[in-house]
């Protein structure tokens, strides 16, 4: 069992961990697909997104807005349609409306009482600012792909995060939903990890690729994390 007293800082992935990005992705992509008479299940849409996003992030660094546009373009190529300019921008435009999970805000506010909080996210600075207003907590550090010019699971963004958080890796606990983007590289960096399995009870890996990783702890939500840490009690 993790000894939570060992940690001075908690770092979080944002989208999929704090923000319900799968609902946001589906809300943006489903209308586009239906316009082109394409009927897919939620799981099929999320699996498509996962593959296309990973492909777009593996090449030379581009801003996340462009990654999202490439996702829609690649989905069109795969399914046989050409997205309109408005459709290409559907994900980036919808992101400002993606909301936190029901337990996110209260958990962050409670954890902030006794720990430094950081975000490590595959996002542009201005796009994260649109989400930050929903999170209602002041993070001590926000490290983005735009700052690192690299996307997780690249270790470069984690190295930048550790340097900016200013705490030894063994004193940082990283909390994330994606084993591919977060748990495996964070463990490689010497961080302890909590796999926040937001898809508990669901099939597949949703909007993220599968990856073999061994987190220090697996939990279904942030409410449970706060409870077992005993913060605010």
232: left (phi over 0), alpha (psi -120 to 50) or beta: left
DSSP class of residue 100 equals B
Q: Are 12 and 92 in contact (CB under 8 A)?
A: no
d(CA 1, CA 210) in angstroms, rounded, equals 25
DSSP-derived secondary structure letter, 6: G
User: 135-139, long-range: CB within 8 Å, 24+ apart, which pairs?
Assistant: 135/18, 135/19, 135/100, 135/104, 135/105, 135/108, 136/105, 136/108, 136/109, 137/105, 137/108, 137/109, 137/112, 138/112
DSSP letter (8 states) at residue 2: -
Which residues are tagged catalytic?
A: 13
Structure tokens given for 78: 């795969």
Beta pairing class for 217-219 and 192-196: parallel
The encoded tokens of residue 99 equal 């909301």
């Amino acid at each position: 069992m993790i000894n939570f007293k060992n940690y001075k800082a908690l770092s979080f992935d944002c989208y999929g961990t704090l923000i319900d990005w799968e609902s946001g992705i589906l809300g943006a992509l489903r209308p586009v697909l239906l316009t082109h008479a394409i009927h897919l299940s939620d799981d099929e849409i999320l699996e498509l997104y996962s593959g296309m996003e990973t492909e777009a992030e593996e090449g030379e660094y581009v801003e996340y807005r462009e990654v999202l546009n490439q996702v829609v373009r690649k989905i069109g190529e795969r399914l046989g349609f050409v997205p309109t300019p408005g459709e290409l921008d559907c994900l980036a435009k919808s992101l400002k409306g993606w909301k936190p999970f029901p337990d996110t805000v209260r958990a962050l506010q409670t954890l902030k009482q006794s720990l430094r909080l950081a975000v490590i996210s595959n996002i542009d600075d201005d796009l994260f600012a649109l989400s930050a207003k929903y999170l209602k907590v002041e993070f001590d550090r926000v490290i983005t792909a735009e700052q690192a010019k690299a996307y997780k699971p690249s270790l470069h963004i984690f190295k930048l995060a550790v340097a900016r958080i200013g705490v030894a890796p063994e004193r940082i606990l990283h909390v994330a939903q994606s084993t591919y983007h977060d748990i495996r590289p964070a463990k490689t960096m010497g961080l302890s990890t909590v796999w926040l399995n937001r898809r508990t009870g669901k099939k597949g890996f949703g909007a993220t690729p599968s990856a073999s990783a061994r987190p220090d702890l697996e939990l279904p939500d942030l409410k449970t994390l706060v409870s077992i840490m005993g913060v605010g009690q």
